[in-house]
């Protein structure tokens, strides 16, 4: 049974951090690595898509305590947990879908997302990445650490499975339900390029989790 995205994470809030850090292969390395990839300048502005409880920010604030963060997430519980962790930091939190929330223009030095975007198709991501491109300052960049499909067959299978499950449950398109539909790295890179990013680089990987850098 598919669960709505926000409900899925609200129901798992109490053990979310422990699960992500201990059960996801490479997490002990990829959260610090992701933080290392973000700007270290004082008062840097960073947009965090699907910020959750702020596991990547926990590492980032060790490196840049003056960073100004805007975090977007569907789960009120996750945002409250993040707020409690970092009540002395410059953080703006927005409850909503990053597909719908306006990002502004030429505002952020960088953006980041960790283990959030693997629920969406290439076609859904391109307009999101166009919006993100516009929100980044000149020479800004996006660090994406996420779960990727190992090949086209894997990607297609899970996208078709999601459609089948939605049809069975009478779920309409446009509603966010929790189900993993990762793209291949190649297809993710194509989405970035179609959105206007000039370059996409694989920085590191942990089996099927990769960190990509898309530069404006």
Contact 109, 44 (CB under 8 A): yes
The fold of the 5-215 domain, in CATH, is: Rossmann fold (3.40.50)
The structural domains of the chain, with segments of one domain joined by +, span 5-215
What's the pLDDT at 175?
74
What's the pLDDT at 4?
84
What's the pLDDT at 74?
93
The two tokens of residue 169 are 């449950």
The two tokens of residue 12 are 């798992």
- 145: CB partners within 8 A, 6+ apart: 30, 31, 33, 34, 56, 112, 113, 114, 115, 209, 210, 211, 212
What's the pLDDT at 128?
98
Contact 200, 213 (CB under 8 A): yes
What's the pLDDT at 51?
97
pTM of the model: 0.95
What's the pLDDT at 87?
93
9, 162, 170, 184, 194 from 122: Cα distances, Å: 23, 14, 23, 10, 10
Per-residue pLDDT for the chain (216 aa), expressed as one digit of tens each? Answer: 888 888 888 888 788 888 888 888 899 999 999 999 999 999 999 999 999 999 999 999 999 999 999 999 999 999 999 999 999 999 999 999 999 999 999 999 999 999 999 999 999 999 999 999 999 999 999 999 999 999 999 999 999 999 899 899 988 777 788 899 999 999 999 999 999 999 999 999 999 999 999 999
Contact 115, 34 (CB under 8 A): no
């Amino acid at each position: 049974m598919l669960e709505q995205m926000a409900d899925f994470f609200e129901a798992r809030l109490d053990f979310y951090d422990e699960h992500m850090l201990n059960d996801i292969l490479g997490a002990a390395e990829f959260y610090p690595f992701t933080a290392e990839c973000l700007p270290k300048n004082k008062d840097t502005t960073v947009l965090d898509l699907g910020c959750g409880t702020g596991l990547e920010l926990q590492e980032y604030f060790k490196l840049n305590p003056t960073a100004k963060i805007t975090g977007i997430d569907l789960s009120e519980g996750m945002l409250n947990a993040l707020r409690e962790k970092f009540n002395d930091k410059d953080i703006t939190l927005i409850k909503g879908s990053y597909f719908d929330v306006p990002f502004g223009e030429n505002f952020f030095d960088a953006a980041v997302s960790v283990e959030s975007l693997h629920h969406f198709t290439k076609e859904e991501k391109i307009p999101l990445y166009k919006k993100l491109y516009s929100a980044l300052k000149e020479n800004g960049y996006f660090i994406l650490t996420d779960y990727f499909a190992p090949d086209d067959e894997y990607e297609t299978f899970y996208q078709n499975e999601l459609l089948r499950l939605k049809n069975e449950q009478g779920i309409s398109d446009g509603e966010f339900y929790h189900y993993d539909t990762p793209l291949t790295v190649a297809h993710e890179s194509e989405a970035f390029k179609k959105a206007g990013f000039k370059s996409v680089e694989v920085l590191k990987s942990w089996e099927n989790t990769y960190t990509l850098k898309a530069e404006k």
